[in-house]
């Protein structure tokens, strides 16, 4: 069964599109953390790091 969603992707309020250069290994790790979504994985990692850094 194909699980790809059709239609416009989810948008984030006050978001900015950026390009980054990252290793294939780091890309796959972030994608796995984000449940298959690279951007979600990067966002989750940044938020968790920021929370730990502020404590």
Q: What is the pLDDT of residues 28-47, one digit of tens each?
A: 999 999 999 999 999 999 99
> What is the spatial distance between Cα 40 and Cα 32, in angstroms, rounded to a whole number?
10
Q: Which residue has the higher pLDDT, 27 or 2?
A: 27
> What is the spatial distance between Cα 23 and Cα 46, in angstroms, rounded to a whole number?
17
Determine if the pTM surpasses 0.75: no
* Residue from 3, 1, 14, 6 nearest 36 by CA: 3
What is the length of the chain?
55
> What is the spatial distance between Cα 5 and Cα 54, in angstroms, rounded to a whole number?
36
Would the pLDDT of 6 be above 80? no
Would the pLDDT of 55 be above 90? no
Residues 36 and 30 sit within 8 Å (Cβ to Cβ):
no
pLDDT for 11 equals 77
Indicate the pLDDT class of residue 12, thresholds 50, 70 and 90: confident
């Amino acid at each position: 069964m194909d699980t790809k969603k059709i239609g416009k992707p989810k948008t984030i309020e006050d978001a900015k599109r950026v390009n980054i250069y990252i290793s294939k290994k780091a890309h796959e790790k972030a994608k796995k953390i984000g449940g298959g979504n690279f951007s979600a994985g990067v966002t989750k990692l940044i938020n968790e790091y920021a929370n730990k850094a502020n404590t």
